[in-house]
Structure 1
Amino acid sequence: MNIPFLRDDTQGSLSVTVEHVDDPAAIGKHPSACGFPSCTAVVDYPGKGYRALFGCVQMVCSTDNSSAGAAFDMDPFYLFEDAPSPYAFFGINPTLFDAPSRVRRDSLDWTAHSYLAWTPMDDTERRVLPLAGFSWGFNVDSDSRITLQPVQALSPGDWDAHLPYLGTSYPGWAFDKWQPSPALGR
């Protein structure tokens, strides 16, 4: 799926691929990850240097999370899960990569809401401004079969529903509402 976005009147796109993992070692995973999904979201944006700094915010709702699937939790990159930043990935045209798996294949519903955002460097506060979002995930049925959820574009309303949780989870950050881009028809 290709999702267009607009930043500073310059168009970019987010290319999202979700596929079954057939060679866990090739992506740095344990053999038990075979058949689970991997998601790669690549930013294509013509800006250079600081104008191409973006971050990825990802939240997961899973039947094995802290709310047993009733709410979304942050999904930080495990090396930085104690860092006080909402971004799981951050950099110049960063690539979001995630390959969730479990050793046991118990029944499970797992859905991620992933957002591309940016933080203006000339503000006095740390602000997160969303640009594009998508949903993806997988289900494990009672026979241990893994089914991928289709990638779907998310709307400004989806992001805005997460704002109370984001504000509570990261009080040192401000989270803007998602302003639709009229030029892109959203």
Structure 2
Amino acid sequence: MIIPFLRDGTQGAVTVTLERVNDPAAIGKHPSAGGFPCCTAEVDFPGKGYRALFGWVQLVRSTDNSSAGAAFDMDPFYLFEDAPSPYALFGINPTLFDAPSRIKRCPLTWTAHSYLAWTPMDDTDRRVPPLVGFSWGFNIDSASRITLQQVQSLTAADWDVHVPYLGTSHPGWVLDESKARQ
């Protein structure tokens, strides 16, 4: 899926690929990850240097999270779980890569909301204006079968629902509501 976005009048796009993991070792995962999803989202933006700085904010709702699937939490990427930033990844045209899995294949619903955002360098506040978002994930049924959730574009309203939680989780950052709702 290709999702276009506009930043400061310049057109960009995110190409999202969701596939089933057939060779866990090839992506650095344990053999138990076979059959689970692998999501890659590549940013294509013509800006250079600081004009191409973006970040990925990812939230996950899972029936095995702290709310038993009732709410979204920050994606628990263990390398940066104590970092006070809402970004899971940040850099020049950063690629989002995620391959969630579970050792036990118990019934589960796992959904991610992944957002490409940016932080203006000329602002005194550390703001996070969203650019584009998409949803993806997987389900495990009672027979231990894994079904991938198809990639779907998210709306401005989807981001705005997450803003109160993101603001509470990251009080040093200003989480902008989407421009479509302002």
Please report the TM-score for the alignment, with normalisation by the length of structure 1: 0.96
Gapped runs of 5+ residues in structure 2? Answer: none
CA distance in 2 between counterparts of 1:152 and 1:143 reads 26
Match of 1:86?
86
CA distance in structure 1 between the partners assigned to 2:175 and 2:83 by the alignment: 17
Shift of residue 76 of structure 1?
4.2
The SS at the match of 1:104 is coil
* 1:154 positional shift: 0.1
Deviation track 1:103-141 (CA, whole Å, cap 9, x = no partner) reads 000000000000000000111110000000000000000
Q: Counterpart of 1:102?
A: 102
| Aligned-residue offset at 1:73 | 0.2
Deviating beyond 6 angstroms after TM superposition, the runs of 4 or more aligned structure 1 residues are: none
Q: In the aligned structure 2, how far is the partner of 1:28 from the partner of 1:119?
A: 30
TM-score by length of structure 2 reads: 0.98
Distance 1:108 1:31 in 2: 19
CA distance in structure 1 between the aligned counterparts of 2:42 and 2:172, rounded to whole angstroms:
28
Residue 21 in structure 1 maps to residue 21 in structure 2: yes
- Identical counterparts, % of pairs: 78
- Listed one character per residue, the Cα deviations across residues 48-72 of structure 1 (whole Å, up to 9, x for unaligned) are 0000000000000000000000000
Matched, 1:35 2:25: no
1:7-18 correspondence to structure 2 within 5 Å: 7-18=7-18
Q: Distance in 2 between matches of 1:98 and 1:81?
A: 15
Q: Structure 1 regions of 5+ residues with no counterpart?
A: 181-186
Distance 1:80 1:177, change over 3 A: same
RMSD (Å) for aligned C-alpha atoms: 1.0
- How many residues matched? 181
Contact 1:58 1:76 (8 Å CA) reproduced: no
Aligned 8 A contact 1:57 1:87 in 2:
yes
Counterparts of 1:18 and 1:164, CA distance in 2: 29
User: 1:184: which partner in 2?
Assistant: none
CA apart distance, 1:77: 2.7
SS at match of 1:82: coil
